[in-house]
């Protein structure tokens, strides 16, 4: 038996094990199967996502209203230097899945918020504004 034979034999064994694994897994669901005339069913209408811009808390007391508005407000404020890592796509940095954040020197990006007028970076060059810049385009 040479290397290729052993190799194809190992692949065959692996294939059979995978097939058995899939059959076993799906056999759990077989009792939930339902007869269906047209499969797959593709939905014809979709619910549209609607952004809410004019939310007013419908509560009686002013204090409660204030409390709700406060809860809805984002408190994540950050300060970027004028020449920040967010001003160039090459220095903006990739997303690190294990750490659930970006590998970057931009304080805004690190805090998982977009840059805005108050953070201090150069907004004409800033690349950390993908959502807000798209919104601005929509309003034009």
Rounded CA-CA distance 55/71 in Å is 13
Contact status: 84 vs Zn ion (CB under 5 A): yes
Q: Please check whether residue 115 is in contact with residue 128, taking contact to mean a CB–CB distance below 8 angstroms.
A: yes
User: Which of residues 57 and 132 has its CB atom nearest to Zn ion in the complex?
Assistant: 132
Q: Per this entry, what is the length of the chain?
A: 140
Distance CA 11, CA 140 (A): 58
* Selected binder of Zn ion within 9, 86, 99, 124 (CB under 5 A): 86
Given candidates 66, 119, 136, 138, which one binds Zn ion under the rule CB under 5 A?
Answer: 119
CB of 135 to Zn ion, least distance (A): 16
Q: Which is nearer to Zn ion, 102 or 115 (CB)?
A: 115
Closest approach of Zn ion to the CB of residue 3, in Å: 54
Q: Could you write out the three-class secondary structure of 70-94?
A: HHHCCCCCCCCCCCCHHHCHHHHCC
Residue with tokens 């920040």: 84
Least distance (Å) from Zn ion to the CB of residue 138?
20
CA distance 101 to 92: 12
By beta-carbon proximity to Zn ion, the closer residue of 44 and 118 is 118
CA torsion sign for 103, 105, 107, 113 is negative
92 binds Zn ion per the rule CB under 5 A: no
Stretch that binds Zn ion, among 5-13, 30-38, 64-72, 80-88 (CB under 5 A): 80-88
128 interacts with Zn ion by CB under 5 A: yes
Interacting residues with Zn ion (CB under 5 A): 80, 84, 86, 106, 108, 115, 119, 121, 126, 128
């Amino acid at each position: 038996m040479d290397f290729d034979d052993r190799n194809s034999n190992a692949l065959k064994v692996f294939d059979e094990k995978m097939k058995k694994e899939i059959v076993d897994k799906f056999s759990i669901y077989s009792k939930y199967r339902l007869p269906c005339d047209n499969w797959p069913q593709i939905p014809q209408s979709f619910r549209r996502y609607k952004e809410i811009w004019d939310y007013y808390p419908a509560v009686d007391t002013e204090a409660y209203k204030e409390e709700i508005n406060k809860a809805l407000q984002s408190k994540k404020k950050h300060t970027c230097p004028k020449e920040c890592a967010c001003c160039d796509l090459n220095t903006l940095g990739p997303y690190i899945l294990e750490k659930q954040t970006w590998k970057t020197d931009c304080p805004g990006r690190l805090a998982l918020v977009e840059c805005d007028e108050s953070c201090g970076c150069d907004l004409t060059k800033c690349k950390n504004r993908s959502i807000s810049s798209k919104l601005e385009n929509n309003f034009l």
